[in-house]
Amino acid sequence: MTAPPPLTLGELAGIGVERLRGVGEKKREALASQGIESVLDLLTTYPRRWIDRTNEARVSDLVPGQEALVLVGVRTMAKRIGRNRRTIVEGTVGDGTGRMHVVFFNQPWRERQLRPDLQIALYGRAEVYRGMLQMTNPIVDLIGDRTGRIVPIYPQSEKAGLTTWELAGWVEDALRRCEPRHIADPLPDPIRRRYGLAGRDESFRTIHLPETMADKERARRRLAFDELLRVQVVLVMRKRALERDALGIRHDTSGRLHRRLHEALPYTMTGAQRRVIDEITADLAGGHPMHRLLQGDVGAGKTLVAVHAMLTAVEGGHQAALMAPTEVLAEQHVAGVRRLLAGVSVHREGELLERAPRVELLTNRVTGAERRRVLAGVADGSVDVLIGTHALIQDAVDFRSLGVVVVDEQHRFGVEQRAALRAKAGQGRAVPDVLVMTATPIPRTAAMTVYGDLDVSVLDELPPGRTPIVTTWANGPLLEQAAWAAVRDEVAAGRQAYVVCPLIEESDKLEVASATETYDRLAAGELAGLRLALLHGRLAATEKEAVMDRFRSGEVDVLVATTVIEVGVDVPNATVMVILDADRFGIAQLHQLRGRVGRGTHPSACWLVTAHQEGVNPRVQALVDTTDGFALAEVDLDLRGEGTIMSTAQKGASDLRLASLRRDRELVHLARQAAFELVDADPTLAAHPVLRDEVAVLFSEDDEAFLTKS
């Protein structure tokens, strides 16, 4: 009789937790409330930490003022009501080396929870209080009578009534029942050995029941790799399917229009621009639709690269579209693209004379006869390049032959909006090539995971003539005065400044500078006598544009604004920026804002103003240390966490349970490499049924669609 095959994750997902010893109806409901319904859910509820009993501090080892973890027994515990009707639970705990006082404020349930003789782990800062060591509101883990050198601590829920030792017992029971058949391994042995990965069955056992901390780390590495591999397999399969199945346009890349564009440029392109243009040109000449992410720091010359791609479409008799997130940015793109194309002329079939490429704007502000004129030109093909906002994806917009789509500032568009723009090609027609641009550098691991179905091009050189920006942290009111002095000096030298505030009006909840209040204060105080203007999101579109026009033309010395200036505002004469309450902004946003200065030939400065703070502020310090957006993106990932992959939320608990895009940068690369190796040799994974089964079990259709529509 042949032995049954190993257990797949799909089979484990089909076995309910009620099959385990000690899980009755009440505990089944409690587990379900924590998202644990199957044996697979239970086995992938990993310990949140592991206590090495051979290497933990004893009470006698505690140092006042330092955080530490101790294993102790409860001696006494009592509850009393303090001043202001606050509940106080306090008592003593100890081990063989000494005793310690613990106190919990506003946690009345601790009296019931912490019964005498209970074994617990406490994590907190020990202080000396009335001659005795004390921990106040420490983190408590109930470990029961768990034996073994290393004790796993699971996420407990007081509300659901689940303890770490109950979860540990059920996990052990599940692992014991899996033993006869083992848990299937989706990874071919040659790949597993090449990457130095432990076996899957062994890793599930070891992550929950490690003999040593090194064993636990080997198990974590293998299971984290599996999480990343599944994500990459979905992305690579969809990417390859798109390349196989979607009908693309083989563009004429002979480059007659490009030569005219280059001849008309007043500067030479950077090496990075030439490299990226070559990558895009190769895509456009191919038979499948391009789907490429163009990353470039603020001012790296992305617009020229985008114009290059759009000209390729125009050269072959097709049209191009550029979608921007705001009307102000769309209008700036029209001006910039027309300027770049001023020395270029096209000749269409059926036309007698060469003419300049026709570039038109379509936003919700374009109405009436002008809108009808633009839409007619798009439909008959006489509009070569259409630039606009979300208005481009409305039903009324009908392109004669859309060849290339450029999407600016990727993170501001929903997945569905990008898909709708691609769908403008119409049923049965060739799918346009898509170039997605972002000036918000994305860490490489995140780009390979969140945007893993896009090819990535990076502009990592700044054009000559861009001046470095010196960034200073103005920590407290004295240094803030130095910032205002710098603004006055720059204006006296004939240049201009930005002052950026987080909110439009004062807020009781957030004690932050508001634009209106700051404008009034500066006009009457620090910047009295200078010409100030105010710009914020609540102004009507026409008012915003009028203010920006006055600033561009030099009629305004200082623009006091909210973050509406974050993207795309280009005034080369502006050389100093003061950002108030800088600690309220994220790293990426501070970097975007700073990029509004340093756009001309004069040295530029950015002042990050905060209320006085003790010690180092890591976000502000990162901006002071470097102007390299890619280095900042990595710092940001380290400080902020990686967010969720499977939904639109960009921040929060990662939906990778063990893998971290921060900690596991090497594993992300290996998983992507392995995914290409497996999928390219076997596009449907027919020869890898275990892996195919896991992808089907662990990714819903919605998850897959989200991952691959971007």
**What local confidence, expressed as pLDDT, does residue 632 receive?**
83
Q: Which range (167-181, 278-292, 536-550, 696-710) has the least confidence?
A: 696-710
Residues of the chain with CATH 2.40.50.140: 57-146
Q: Which of 263-267, 428-432, 557-561 has the highest mean pLDDT?
A: 557-561
Q: Which residues pair with 577 in a beta bridge?
A: 498, 606
pLDDT band for position 127 (50/70/90)?
very high
pLDDT band for position 528 (50/70/90)?
very high
Q: Single out the residue of 657, 678, 467 nearest to residue 573, CA to CA.
A: 467
Is a pLDDT exceeding 50 seen at residue 648? no
Q: Residue 628: what are its φ and ψ, rounded to 5°? A: -80, 110
What does the pLDDT average to over 123-136?
90
pLDDT band for position 614 (50/70/90)?
confident
Cα(170)–Cα(374) distance, integer angstroms: 67
Is a pLDDT exceeding 70 seen at residue 44? yes
CATH number, span 57-146: 2.40.50.140
Q: Residue 551: what are its φ and ψ, rounded to 5°? A: -70, -45
596 against 177, higher pLDDT: 177
Is a pLDDT exceeding 90 seen at residue 165? no
**What local confidence, expressed as pLDDT, does residue 312 receive?**
92
* Cβ atoms of residues 592 and 561 within 8 Å: no
Contacts of 88 by beta carbon, 8 Å cutoff, 6+ apart:
79, 80, 81, 82, 103, 104, 105
**What local confidence, expressed as pLDDT, does residue 649 receive?**
37
672 against 454, higher pLDDT: 672
Is a pLDDT exceeding 60 seen at residue 413? no
267 against 199, higher pLDDT: 199
Superfamily of 256-459 according to CATH:
P-loop containing nucleotide triphosphate hydrolases (3.40.50.300)
Q: Compute the C-alpha angle 177/182/186, nearest 5°.
A: 135
Three-state DSSP class for 267? coil
Cα(239)–Cα(345) distance, integer angstroms: 36
pTM (two decimals): 0.70
CB burial of residue 35 (10 Å; 0-12, 13-18, 19+): exposed
Cα(694)–Cα(186) distance, integer angstroms: 8
Q: Single out the residue of 418, 441, 562 nearest to residue 499, CA to CA.
A: 562
Is a pLDDT exceeding 70 seen at residue 185? yes
**What local confidence, expressed as pLDDT, does residue 153 receive?**
84
670 against 649, higher pLDDT: 670
* Cβ atoms of residues 547 and 561 within 8 Å: no
**What local confidence, expressed as pLDDT, does residue 377 receive?**
94
Q: Which of 232-246, 450-464, 475-489, 629-643 has the highest mean pLDDT?
A: 475-489
pLDDT band for position 701 (50/70/90)?
low
Is a pLDDT exceeding 50 seen at residue 34? yes
488 against 131, higher pLDDT: 488
Instruction: Let me know how long the chain is.
Output: 710
**What local confidence, expressed as pLDDT, does residue 419 receive?**
65
Instruction: Compute the mean pLDDT over every residue in the chain, rounded to the nearest whole number.
Output: 85
Contacts of 338 by beta carbon, 8 Å cutoff, 6+ apart:
359
Q: Is it true that domain 469-626 has CATH number 3.40.1360.10?
A: no
Is a pLDDT exceeding 80 seen at residue 160? no
Cα 409 from chain centroid (whole Å)? 13
CB atoms near residue 67 (< 10 Å): 13
What does the pLDDT average to over 650-659?
59
Q: Single out the residue of 667, 675, 291, 281 nearest to residue 456, CA to CA.
A: 291
pLDDT digits (tens, 9 = 90+) for 64-104: 988 888 889 999 999 999 888 889 999 999 998 999 999 99
Is a pLDDT exceeding 60 seen at residue 260? yes
H or E, element range at 522: helix 515-524
Cα(698)–Cα(9) distance, integer angstroms: 9
Residues of the chain with CATH 3.40.50.300: 256-459, 469-626
* Cβ atoms of residues 706 and 24 within 8 Å: no
Is a pLDDT exceeding 60 seen at residue 265? yes
Q: Residue 352: what are its φ and ψ, rounded to 5°? A: -75, -40
Is a pLDDT exceeding 70 seen at residue 505? no
Q: Which of 198-207, 346-355, 358-367, 402-411 has the highest mean pLDDT?
A: 198-207
Is a pLDDT exceeding 90 seen at residue 245? no
> What whole-number percentage of the chain has pLDDT above 90?
42
What does the pLDDT average to over 485-514?
80
Q: How far apart are the first and last CA of the chain?
A: 50
